[in-house]
Amino acid sequence: MNKERLKKSQPVVYRVLSNALTKNRLAHAYLFVGDKGSNKEETALLFAQSMVCENTDKDGFACQTCERCLRMENRESLDFIWISKETQMDLIQKRQKKDAFKELANKKVKVEKKAEKLPTQIKKEAITSLQESFSKTGQEQSDKRIYVIEQYDLISTSASNSLLKFIEEPQEGIYGILTTEEKSNVLPTIQSRCQIIGFKPESYEERMEELLEITNEENAEMLIQNGYTLKNAQEWIENEEFGIIKNAAREYINSCNDHASILKMQQLFAGKSIYLNKEYVKVLLEWLLYFVRNKKTELKMSQQVQIQTILVESMDVLRSPVDLGLFLDKIYNQLWKVVKS
Ligand SMILES: [Zn+2]
């Protein structure tokens, strides 16, 4: 998170955090509440870095370039644990592996590796692993150990209860930052033990300005119109497939009355292609919709309206499990009918 940007876009948050840092009045737990695009995760990292950086600025914020800061950014610090729906499995598996080795040594049982699906909730095991690794003494130079729990509203009830105990009896030097979109989804008992920091939604202009620093106008517009957070937008921009899908979408929408262009799309999104997955297909639809909606096609007005309807409805369908190949063929067919009418 760029400090100047935080100061400009979230002046209240900046001031409150700066006060806590410079006056050394840190709460043991913080709850960051704000919309998807409000950069609360980026701010959580900056705030955590600021607690241990030795090179802070006059407002108490981290330099973001020293070794300690970088180790935290790269999640290499043992005293900094980041739990999200996605990263919790590493933490849990590390612990399970340790247990499995113990068992192996004692009972000589065979260790089988189970393929686990990505959980939809933050599990209790993740919280237990966190508590265990933090119960050991500090591993690094800093006397602070910090955890971040992203999307706290996705936590399971049992996980929330075990975290509650952790927060209720705060240990010296342990600090937590929880982030959520909806405060009402967080247990009142957790809320009452956290300092609540409210983020205001960023305006369209502010988000545009941020993205234009790393990409062109079309990419920025498309990603913002589709509600991507700065972090997710960045990931797409760095992914070279993003540009390939964009170009394919542009070419196709300008010639969707031509069989050759449908064939080209079918080849790109063929059975074994890496593109035939839900994320890429979703981005394809978003690009198609972007080009039609922003009048970047030579289609007639009436056709544009019909195609927008088809695409928006298809995006809804994509939320349920579908056969992606058939799903795309149906869209090519529907668009073909519109442009041939
Ligand atoms: Zn630093």
Q: In tens digits, what is the pLDDT along the chain, a chain of 341 residues?
A: 689 889 988 999 999 999 999 999 999 999 999 987 788 999 999 999 999 999 999 999 999 999 999 999 998 888 999 998 777 777 777 767 666 655 555 554 444 444 445 567 888 888 888 888 887 765 555 689 999 999 888 888 888 888 988 888 888 899 999 999 988 888 889 999 999 999 998 888 888 988 999 999 999 999 999 988 787 899 999 999 999 999 999 999 988 888 999 999 999 998 888 899 999 999 999 999 999 998 778 888 999 999 999 999 999 999 889 999 999 999 999 999 999 88
Span from the CA of 211 to the centroid of ligand 1 (angstroms):
25
The structure's pTM equals 0.68
Span from the CA of 311 to the centroid of ligand 1 (angstroms):
46
Span from the CA of 157 to the centroid of ligand 1 (angstroms):
36
The CATH superfamily of 3-202 is: P-loop containing nucleotide triphosphate hydrolases (3.40.50.300)
**Beta carbons of 152 and 180 less than 8 angstroms apart:** yes
The three-point CA angle 255-258-259 to 5° equals 135
Q: In the prediction, which pLDDT does 110 show?
A: 43
Q: State which residues have CB under 5 angstroms from ligand 1, the bound ion.
A: 53, 55, 62-63, 66, 69
Span from the CA of 256 to the centroid of ligand 1 (angstroms):
53
**Separation in Å, CA 198 to CA 10, 35, 60, 318:** 9, 10, 20, 33
Please name the residue that has the structure tokens 């695409």.
311
User: How many CB atoms lie under 10 A from the CB of residue 193?
Assistant: 19
Token couple for 281: 């297909």
Span from the CA of 230 to the centroid of ligand 1 (angstroms):
22
The amino acid sitting at 211 is L
Span from the CA of 131 to the centroid of ligand 1 (angstroms):
26
Span from the CA of 285 to the centroid of ligand 1 (angstroms):
41
Span from the CA of 56 to the centroid of ligand 1 (angstroms):
6
Which residues are within 8 A (CB) of 264 and not within 5 positions of it... i.e. 6 or more apart? 248, 251, 252
Span from the CA of 178 to the centroid of ligand 1 (angstroms):
22
**Which strand ranges, in their side-by-side order, compose the sheet holding 80-83?**
80-83, 145-149, 174-180, 29-33, 195-198
**285 closest CA partner among 329, 251, 315, 247:** 315
| 281 CB-contact burial (10 Å; exposed 0-12 / middle 13-18 / buried 19+) | buried
Q: In the prediction, which pLDDT does 139 show?
A: 59
Span from the CA of 69 to the centroid of ligand 1 (angstroms):
4
Span from the CA of 66 to the centroid of ligand 1 (angstroms):
4
Span from the CA of 174 to the centroid of ligand 1 (angstroms):
19
**Beta carbons of 88 and 78 less than 8 angstroms apart:** no
Domain ranges, ordered by start, for the chain? 3-202, 239-340
Long-range contacts of 337-341 (CB under 8 A, 24+ apart): 338/303, 338/306, 338/307, 338/310, 339/256, 339/257, 339/299, 339/303, 340/257, 341/303
